Chain A
């Protein structure tokens, strides 16, 4: 199988959408002749023309809002928000418009669009260029939320996202951009709401998305040396959320840790834990635990970031706590 990087998968996924569907076009800042600040649209202007690959002023509200208007008229916009932090500048278009058009119009209007963005820590961009904000969007009915972790899923989930009759928030962690993985040719569309078991284990289940999946796998390796068998589930999408795959896993492991880089307070792990407790209480031998980041802005300095961010050390610690191998935090 072909090995490609995560960012190559993003690029291929978008190019394939442009080739296969005339309704698809891309809007974003620096996506044209510059090729995207992370090279997600490299060479696209030459291949598809600046009509369909549209450089934008730095104006997120109008970029996302015009995307909604175009989608309503039958187009399939892909809108790149350069840093996830900047979605805050365009929230009205996403929350008040895109998410609600279909419902409040009695299904006369639809806003099928893919809002691509990237975020996350590890590159020392500071507090306003490093956030992980996908949890915000679980709270707004009408949006799908997709967080891929490997190149194959980028392509498979993107295909489904472009064809979905609802707006999709497609979230990439930039620390994954240079990671590689095998891809089939072609990649089959992956349905939203279907998680996958990345590693089989017997003692504890860890559910995660995106970069946290890789950190959970690293933690699982570490714990394997201590004789602990960790199952790792990649949910792949947060809306819809595959609670079933977690419940099935818990019927074997009976212990759950939910890991995400997003701030733990108010993060999506709380939603998953609540549903697991409601539907699978009898399966639980220990309180479900969350491994999220501490509630501070993301600091610049390495030492400060390491003190607050969710990473493989924190995930390993929570796994141990779940097994009563370490003290449960106050």
Chain B
């Protein structure tokens, strides 16, 4: 057993009303984040929300084609995790990956253009929504093969281990990934080699239509970490500060050479598995409405209400709205993918 084995903890920020005096001077109030960092986190969360809303509309309007997996309601997780990362740390993602790409710093224009299948997209139209890559931002790939993101991150962490590179690799996964055999192989390998990896399972309650509690009797995915001799942490994935705190600790542990951590961020998938999903077959509208009452952006606003002026947040919103409009226009006005490139890059 390695040190930290069996450590299953839960990180939850205290409710806003219990925060004592809430003095803006207190550094520990919001996990020591300064105003600029708070605004950055808000910008990330709001950008993801606006991006998903805007792209969904574009899809419904017929501007986009192909599958579309919205991450609405899960914004706090990529925002909180990536706030704890350096630019040169790397992240892998899933089919539901727009938010991860945005949080890691990838640019909106080329992301949009990739969704539009345009030549100016990050992958020149060869990837699409489920295969965005921006190596310069450390966003090294999505794997819509469930469980694949963990493998890629483990391999990246292995390369850091081999070369003495102080970087960290983070894999975002969904709760569905836990059912894959490769989940076990991946966590075990990362653990025995003490690789600088962090596995973040976004437990949004559903793997397509299959409820998480139908897939496993144990409601806490994080508890599986004990079997691999690594810490497992359950966080409230609606609360960006809890996510950030868990990620910061896990990243520090990984960077120090102490090995991987499994973080389970509990959240709720606001939209269907994909756009056009027959949600009515497996969940009630009321369940969704209730869950949407607990909005990660609203939680953030409440938490920072004594630190940040509403005008500051409104300023971020206005700037992001324009950025997303610009990005969508850039995509729409970009040239189509060039058929001559279709045969390039394979073997």
Contacts and interface: CB of A to CB of B under 8 A. Distances in A.
B347 A109 contact: no
A65 B169 CA distance: 14
Given A61-B181, A102-B345, 14 more contacts: A59-B185, A59-B188, A63-B189, A65-B186, A66-B151, A66-B154, A66-B155, A69-B155, A71-B155, A72-B155, A73-B90, A105-B135, A108-B122, A143-B347
A146 to B, nearest CB: 12
Contact of B123 (A59, A63, A105, A239): A105
Contacts of B127: 104-106
Contact of B182 (A92, A103, A142, A144): A92
A239 B90 CA distance: 32
Interface in A17-72: 25, 51-52, 54, 56-57, 59, 61-63, 65-72
A75 interface: yes
Interface string A91-130: 0110011000111111111000000000000000000000
Could you say which of A63, A71, A75 has the most chain B C-beta atoms within 10 Å of its C-beta?
A: A75
A105 B141 contact: yes
B200 interface: no
23 contacts: A54-B193, A61-B151, A65-B151, A66-B158, A66-B189, A67-B155, A69-B153, A73-B140, A92-B182, A96-B145, A97-B152, A102-B346, A105-B122, A105-B131, A105-B135, A105-B141, A106-B121, A106-B127, A106-B345, A108-B133, A109-B133, A143-B347, A166-B347
Contacts of A92: 145, 148, 182
A97 B148 contact: yes
A51 B162 contact: yes
Contacts of A144: 347
Contacts of B223: none
Nearest to B144: A96
A96 B95 CA distance: 14
A266 interface: no
Given A62-B185, A62-B188, A70-B162, A104 B131 contact: yes
Contacts of A71: 155
A106 B141 contact: no
Contacts of A97: 143, 145, 148, 151-152
B257 interface: no
Nearest to A168: B347
Given A104-B131, A107-B345, A65 B148 contact: yes
A59 to B, nearest CB: 4
B336 interface: no
